[in-house]
């Protein structure tokens, strides 16, 4: 079977081959415990996966590199907030109201489905299998597929009715679509009265701490805060295996910046990078992603600002350093209908996998939305100040309610009216001024009274006045690169996977070409044959590797070296040391299968240097004597 | 105020001074953002804290060292499982039934309290403030305090009634105590029918994966699996600030071992360690913890086995390497009444803090309990095999139901009866055999039928038979070191904190004496005065530090160097580089305040070496020219 799969994988691009390729990767990943379906002995839970030993190791290597590449390099402020979150925070952020998917229920069994998934499946099947549909109808269905995410509950329901879509398992009729909140809900404390949720993202923990973090940073902008942690999403019916799960690790950065100055001091370091970008305009006009110079997209106004571009560049460097194939990585700009109304610009790092192009990192300029929302809800001002070098004269609108007149007119309700007048936006106040001057009075809604009152000219003075200001107070914009770590890892597994024939040519062997940075185990140590002398050498090398902090395994099973290499290649271990003498050993590189001879005493330090990037395999290859592969190769 | 606090802290041992010391530490920790009360702008949630930038850094340094010290050194299999856990798993583990605290409610307001807390508070106050109580009564109350954890709901309720304890806030009467489950409950998926909980510990994720992990390890024992992750505990009313929280990070090891051989190959590496141990016997006889040689406790049979002792030793090394004071660290054996019935032995690493001795690591030999529980519930055998070098003859009990007779007697229920007979434990079967032989029949309960049936002698053969066996199949024992990372961090903060007078003597300055391994920032870089040349040197050094992976900060504020040192000492930064020339710089060590001169080019590498432990400050001090402190000291 495996050979048949390989044949399918090695040529062609069709859906079947993608499926077969994915099966080969996923089989290897599960067989070697990169992943384990969670609670497997209890038949598991859809959308929950464990990282087994090599997967866990890859994950912690990636997170360590993320810390180095982002937090350390940019002096970010890392925080670590709880997953349990009180309702008030997620009401302010909008998640309680809007973090929903549309769901339909089998009217007889109560089984739940995502409404858009059912419609999507129907459309795809129609296009693929129904040869009788007209080209008009086909175009209509294609258009529907493209705009699926924009449909309201009513529109989705209407389409489901129109196409006669029924429950896939039972053929029973379906309910109308209704929103299902995707947060896991719980209760904090014993009383049952305090609702909480498992956070759907880590960002809110940063926003609510803005004031303290800004102060910690010496009250200076720009600065970035970062957080790595678990997030939760109670999917209606998880699909796409390891890509759409109910609990996942996010790594998020919130970069706070003056909305009037979104330049970045290190922008020039990334401006010359060239890679695949897919601006809105190209998507709309049906073109494909093109390789462009990042700096040009900024100068042409395609990317909104330098800081956003800086992070796009840094994300590109991060992903490719991990081993993501740069030909299967693109930065796609959100279309107007995908973006939240407050967002200034948004780009996704998408990685191509057997499931298609997968959003793995979102890089969004969210403007001042989040800080404003929490300022309003909490009553705590989340703002920054810019001190002027000399005071500036500014024109300011001053609303001065005349309390005496208001007291006479509204008695006990005076306070509410005063507050409502003072809270008017500039535009509203200016309109009131105009009306009062022309008509002498105006109808005015006081929300806190729940009614409209009549304001007369003598009750309020509205005036533009000149004032000296010593500082500007403003809500910073936030630029948010948000990394779905699990998705990056899965795509990396697909990009790193390949097969090659065994020496005898009788089977295909699996290899993960992880760079040493990512590899779960950096090195294996094999005594060539089971013998005490060799095992002692192996233990000596192992101790040196441990002391150097290099993760490794000794394999003293009696299997052939070829088999042991195959086993280690399948885990993506980049280097193997075969102990075949007591003075020097064979050091083999995984992908080239090249081998050199290194003194026993030097073996650990050579592996350390090439693993940590102080040297390259090419250097090692040119420094040490080559070893023919006859004795120890597969 | 701060000076008054300091005076209180520096002498004496009383409760007031401990409170004052704690206040000084906690003030510093919160002011410098080691911790932030979570969701502070919304007035927070009791028992939830964020790690701010320096706290987060300390935490990730400790976790990285934990991985090096345990996972890497011992070749453990690290896994990473979800927090969301289906009910069936936690039913098997016993958490659904037993993970509870006893709660009482204010009968009028419904406010909840922990019953034992109220009783404890009452007893403590009685002892401290009521000068009229007899010595008999005092002894009774002390005994009650000592045995508080053993009281049943009824006993607690009776005491509360007896003492007339009422709700502390309202003086209203209280309900009877009843168990409150401490797990955060939620619902998995949209149907509402699948109950889940946020895991109360990470261990269960390992147990359910035992079979795969054992296979991954080449079907060999012993091996250990490890997991770092969030755990949750919905406390009734959190107390003790940072020590008792509702969400926390655990690092757990499950070391699986043959119950017949609990030796450890590396035991000799720890046997000679000497530190404070507090065996059961000493606790019962009112003695205190004594400094003993670990190996002696094993040879005297005080610690149950070598593997348990090995981990006690490794935990000791881990904690003291972090900077825990070895005089305030003890290993306390559980008393018989503290231990679960299945546990073979259990020791807690307790660290002394201002709250008293705090359990920070539990090291328990849990025997085969957990694996057996999941085997039974899931129907999947979680066992290990030992192949005999040659087959062994063993006597085995064989239960052979006679299906024909059973079929006649029980018809459709035959299958249930057969299964129940085959599932009998050896003891039960032997008793049945005896009864059948003496009386000819026996009453037998068939759970799956929900009734008792009569088994006659001709319906089942029970026999001891000799068999050749090729392997032994057994459930491994598990030895579990479980680390409360947050508690370790908090205790470390207390142990690392001290104050010293400023140079002018007019104020007390706070210092955290973190070892470089733990320090949130390893080094600060200060240009002595604001000048472009110095700032360029500072930037050069900063770049070299970043490339070397050393976390650091540049401080270019114009404040005095003394103030800047004080600021950095309060964050526990071990080294400071002051740029006071363009060729060489001053390198200062935090605790000694000693300073040496180092070439600009060498500065980063010297800091790297002394930070990563390749060299010591003593070596640096003897290698480089000393710098008098006049120019740059505080």
Asked if A33 and B211 come within 8 Å (Cβ–Cβ), the reply is no
Count of C-beta atoms within a 10 Å radius of residue B397? 15
Residues forming beta bridges with residue A553, ordered by sequence position: A524
Contacts of B584 (CB under 8 A, 6+ apart): B597, B598, B599, B600
CB contact under 8 A, B234 and A190: yes
pLDDT of residue A465: 86
Looking at residues B420-431, what average pLDDT do you find?
86
Cβ(A247)–Cβ(A230) below 8 Å: yes
pTM here? Answer: 0.88
Q: With helix as H, strand as E and coil as C, how does B511-558 read?
A: EECCCCCCCCCCEEEEECCCCHHHHHHHHHHHHHHHHCCCCEEECCCC
DSSP state of B42: G
**Contact (CB<8Å) A213/B81:** no
Query: Min CA distance, B454 vs chain A (Å)?
Result: 35
CA distance linking residue B254 with residue B209, whole number of Å: 11
Q: Whole-angstrom Cα distance, residue A402 to residue A354?
A: 69
Q: Is A252 helix (H, G, I), strand (E, B) or coil?
A: strand
Question: Across the interface, do A52 and B77 touch by the CB < 8 Å criterion?
Answer: yes
B78 part of contact set with chain A, CB < 8 Å = yes
- Surface of B (314-373) touching A: CB under 8 A: none
**Widest distance between CA atoms in chain A:** 105
Over residues B519-576, the pLDDT tens digits come to 999 999 999 888 889 999 999 999 999 988 899 999 888 788 889 999 999 999 999 9
A39 and B208: CB-CB below 8 Å?
yes
Q: In chain B, pLDDT over 70 holds for what percent of residues?
A: 97
The verdict on a CB contact (< 8 Å) between B184 and A189 is: no
Contact assignment for B80 to A51 by CB distance below 8 Å: yes
Residues sharing a CB contact under 8 Å with residue B323, sequence separation 6 or more, in sequence order? B492, B495, B496, B513, B514, B515, B518
**CB neighbours (10 Å) of residue A69?**
16
Which residues of chain B make contact with A232, given a CB cutoff of 8 A?
83-84
Top residue of B28, B31, B42 to mutate, by most chain A CBs within 10 Å, is: B42
Contact between residue A108 and residue A172 where contact means Cβ atoms under 8 Å apart: yes
Pairwise CA distance, residues A256 & B460, whole Å: 78
**Nearest C-alpha in A relative to B571:** A216
Q: Which residues of A touch B79 (CB under 8 A)?
A: 36, 50-53, 56
Q: Which candidate from A56, A75, A81 shows the least CB-CB separation from B78?
A: A56
Residue of B68, B189, B216 with shortest CB distance to A53: B216
Q: Residue A286: left if φ>0, alpha if ψ -120 to 50, beta else—which one?
A: left
Contact map slice: B 546-575 vs A, CB within 8 A: 546, 549, 551, 553, 557
CA distance A480 to chain B (A): 18
- Per-chain mean pLDDT for chain B: 91
Three-state SS string across A464-506, please?
EEEEEEEEEEECCEEEEEEEEHHHHHHHHHHHHEEEEECCCCC
- Sign of the alpha-carbon dihedral angle for A40, A42, A47, A52: negative
Task: Write out pLDDT tens, residues A349-360.
Answer: 999 999 999 999
What is the C-alpha separation between A358 and A630, in angstroms, rounded?
43
A286, β-bridge pairs: none
Please judge whether A50 and B378 are an interchain contact, meaning their C-beta atoms are less than 8 angstroms apart: no
Sign of CA dihedral A55, A58, A64, A68: negative
pLDDT(B631) > 50:
no
Total number of residues shown for chain A:
634
Give the count of alpha carbons within 13 A of A252, CB side only. Answer: 25
**Class of residue B46 by CB neighbours under 10 A (exposed 0-12, middle 13-18, buried 19+):** middle
CB B259 within 8 A of CB B367: yes
CB contact under 8 A, B38 and A205: yes
- Which letter does DSSP use for residue A191 in this model? S
C-alpha–C-alpha distance, residues A30 and A152, integer Å? 39
Report pLDDT for B133. Answer: 85
**How many angstroms separate the CA atoms of A73 and A394, rounded?**
39
CA angle B258, B262, B263 (to 5 degrees): 130
Question: What's the whole-number mean pLDDT along residues B241-261?
Answer: 95
Confidence category of residue B241, pLDDT binned at 50, 70, 90: confident
Element spanning B387, H or E: strand B384-401
Q: Flag whether pLDDT at B179 surpasses 60.
A: yes
Instruction: Tell me if B89 and A234 make a contact (CB, 8 A cut-off).
Output: no
C-beta separation of B361 from B348 below 8 A: yes
SS3 of B323, please? coil
According to DSSP, residue B184 is labeled P
Instruction: Find, in chain B, the residue whose alpha carbon is nearest to that of A79.
Output: B52
Nearest to B72 among A230, A232, A551 (CB): A551
Residues of chain A with pLDDT under 50: 1-2, 4-12, 631-634
| DSSP track, B273-292 | -EEEEE-HHHHHTT---EEE
Scanning every residue of chain A, which has its alpha carbon at the shortest distance from the alpha carbon of B48? A82
A residues 443-482 near B, CB within 8 Å? none
Q: Do the chains contact at B78 and A86, CB–CB below 8 Å?
A: no
B52, closest residue in chain A (CA to CA): A79
Euclidean distance between CA atoms A455 and A450, whole angstroms: 16
**Which chain A residue has the Cα nearest residue B247?**
A82
Query: Do B67 and A53 count as a contact with CB atoms less than 8 A apart?
Result: no
| Residues forming beta bridges with residue A623, ordered by sequence position | none
Is B63 at the interface with chain A, CB within 8 A?
Answer: no
A45: closest CA among B164, B188, B123? B188
Where are any strands of DSSP class E within B93-222?
A: 100-105, 112-114, 178-181, 185-187, 195-198
Give the nearest chain B residue to A202 (CA atoms): B50
Q: Which of A36, A79, A185 sits opposite B50 (nearest CB)?
A: A79
Report how far residue A89's alpha carbon sits from residue A207's, in angstroms, rounded to the nearest whole number: 10
Split at pLDDT 50, 70, 90, the class of B629 is: low
Please compute the mean of the pLDDT values over residues B389-411 and round it to a whole number.
88
Of A111-115, A625-629, B140-144, B369-373, where does the model show the most confidence? Answer: B369-373
- Chain centroid to Cα A286, Å, comes to 26
Sheet with B112-114, edge to edge strand ranges:
B112-114, B100-105, B178-181
Residues of A whose CB is below 8 A from B77: 52-53
- Kindly provide the b/e burial profile for residues B235-263, where b requires at least 16 CB atoms within 10 angstroms of the residue's own CB: bbbbeebbbbbbbbbbbbbbbbbebeebe
Q: Are B483 and B491 in contact (CB under 8 A)?
A: no
| B184 to A84: CB separation less than 8 angstroms, yes or no | yes
Q: From CA A306, how far away is CA A271, in angstroms rounded?
A: 9
Backbone angles phi, psi at B229, to 5 degrees: 180, 175
Residue ranges of B 145-184 with Cβ closer than 8 A to chain A:
180, 184
Query: Which chain A residues touch B539 with a CB distance below 8 Å?
Result: none
User: Which of B156-160, B358-362, B416-420 is predicted least confidently?
Assistant: B416-420
Judge: A41–B208 Cβ closer than 8 Å, yes or no. yes
Instruction: Report helix, strand or coil for B477.
Output: strand
- CA A585 distance to own-chain centroid: 43
A189 Cβ under 8 Å from any chain B Cβ? yes
Q: Which residues of A touch B212 (CB under 8 A)?
A: 33, 36, 40, 52
- Which one of B103, B190, B216 has the shortest CB-CB distance to A190? B103
A500 Cα to chain B: minimum distance (Å):
24
With an 8 Å Cβ cutoff, are B246 and A84 in contact?
yes
Distance CA(B631)–CA(B624), nearest Å, equals 18
Separation in Å, CA of A279 to nearest CA in chain B: 34
* A46 vs B contacts (CB less than 8 Å): 189
Tell me which chain B residues have a C-beta less than 8 angstroms from the C-beta of A205: 38, 50
Nearest chain A CA: its distance from B71 CA (Å) = 9
What torsion, rounded to 10 degrees, do the Cα atoms A297, A480, A256, A277 define?
-10
Contacts with B80 from chain A: Cβ below 8 Å:
50-51, 55-56, 59
End-to-end CA distance of chain A: 22
Q: Is the Cα torsion angle B203, B208, B212, B214 positive or negative in sign?
A: positive
Residue B619 and residue B629: Cα distance in Å, rounded? Answer: 19
Establish if A144 touches chain B: CB-CB under 8 angstroms.
Answer: no
Residue B3 has pLDDT above 70, yes or no: no
ipTM score: 0.87
CA distances in angstroms from B49 to B22, B30, B62, B82, B529, listed in the order given: 17, 10, 18, 21, 38
Give the strand pairing for B595-599 and B584-589: antiparallel
Q: Say if residue B5's pLDDT is above 70.
A: no
pLDDT of residue A629: 65
The pLDDT, as a whole number, for residue A445 is: 86
Q: The dihedral of CA A393, A398, A402, A407: what is its sign?
A: negative
**CB contact at 8 A, A583 and A596:** no
Q: What is the DSSP letter of A42?
A: G
In this predicted structure, what is the pLDDT of residue B630?
53
């Amino acid at each position: 079977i495996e050979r048949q799969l390989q044949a399918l994988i090695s040529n062609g691009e069709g859906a079947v081959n993608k499926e077969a390729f994915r099966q080969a990767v996923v089989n290897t990943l599960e067989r070697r415990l990169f992943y384990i379906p969670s609670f497997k002995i209890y038949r598991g839970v859809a959308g929950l996966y464990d990282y087994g030993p090599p997967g866990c190791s890859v994950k912690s290597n990636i997170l360590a590199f993320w810390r180095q590449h982002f937090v350390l390099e940019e002096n970010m402020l890392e925080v670590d907030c709880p997953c349990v979150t009180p309702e008030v925070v997620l009401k302010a952020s909008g998640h309680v109201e809007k973090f929903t998917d549309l769901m339909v229920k089998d009217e007889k069994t109560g089984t739940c489905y995502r409404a858009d998934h059912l419609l999507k499946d129907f459309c795809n099947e129609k296009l693929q299998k129904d040869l009788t549909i007209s080209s008009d109808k086909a175009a209509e269905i294609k258009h529907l597929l493209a705009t699926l995410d924009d449909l309201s509950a009513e529109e989705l329901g209407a389409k489901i009715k129109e196409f006669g879509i029924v429950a896939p398992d039972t053929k029973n009729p379906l309910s109308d679509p209704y929103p299902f909140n995707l947060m896991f809900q719980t209760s904090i404390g014993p009383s049952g009265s305090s609702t909480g949720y498992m956070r759907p993202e880590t960002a809110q923990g940063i926003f609510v701490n803005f004031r303290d973090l800004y102060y910690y940073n010496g009250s200076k902008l720009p600065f970035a805060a970062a957080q790595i942690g678990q997030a939760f999403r109670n999917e209606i019916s998880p699909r796409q295996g390891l890509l759409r799960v109910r609990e996942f690790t996010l790594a998020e950065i919130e970069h706070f910046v003056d909305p009037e100055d979104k330049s970045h001091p290190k922008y020039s370091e990334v401006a010359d990078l060239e890679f695949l970008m897919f601006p809105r305009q190209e998507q709309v006009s049906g073109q494909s992603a093109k390789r462009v110079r990042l700096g040009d997209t900024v100068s042409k106004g395609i990317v909104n600002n330098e800081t956003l571009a800086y992070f796009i560049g840094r994300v590109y460097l991060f992903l490719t350093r991990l081993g993501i194939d740069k030909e299967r990585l693109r930065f796609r700009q959100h279309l107007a209908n995908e973006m939240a109304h407050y967002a200034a610009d948004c780009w996704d790092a998408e990685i191509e996998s057997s499931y298609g192009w997968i959003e793995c990192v979102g890089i969004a300029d969210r403007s001042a939305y989040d800080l404003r929302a929490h300022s309003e809800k909490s009553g705590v001002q989340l703002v920054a100040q810019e001190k002027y070098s000399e005071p500036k004269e500014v024109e300011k609108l001053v609303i001065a309610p005349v309390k005496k007149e208001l007291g006479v007119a509204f008695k006990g309700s005076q306070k509410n009216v005063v507050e409502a007048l003072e809270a008017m936006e500039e535009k509203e106040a200016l309109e009131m001024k105009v009306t009062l001057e022309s008509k002498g009075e105006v109808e005015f809604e006081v929300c806190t009274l729940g009614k409209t009152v009549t304001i007369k000219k003598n009750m309020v003075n509205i005036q533009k006045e000149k004032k000296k200001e010593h500082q500007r107070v403003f809500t910073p914009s936030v630029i948010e690169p948000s990394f779905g770590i699990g998705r990056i890892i899965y795509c990396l597994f697909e990009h790193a996977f390949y097969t090659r024939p065994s020496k005898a040519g009788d089977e295909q062997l699996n290899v993960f070409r992880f760079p040493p940075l990512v590899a779960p185990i950096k090195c294996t140590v094999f005594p060539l044959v089971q013998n005490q002398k060799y095992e002692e050498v192996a233990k000596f090398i192992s101790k040196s590797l441990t002391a150097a902090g290099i993760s490794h395994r000794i394999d003293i099973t009696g299997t052939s070296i070829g088999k042991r290499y195959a086993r280690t290649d399948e885990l993506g271990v980049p280097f193997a040391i075969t102990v075949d003498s007591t003075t020097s050993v064979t050091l083999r590189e995984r992908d080239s299968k090249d081998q050199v001879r290194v003194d026993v005493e030097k073996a650990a330090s050579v592996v350390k240097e090439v693993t940590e990037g102080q040297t390259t395999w090419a250097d090692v290859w040119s420094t040490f004597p080559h070893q023919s592969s006859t004795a120890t190769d597969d």
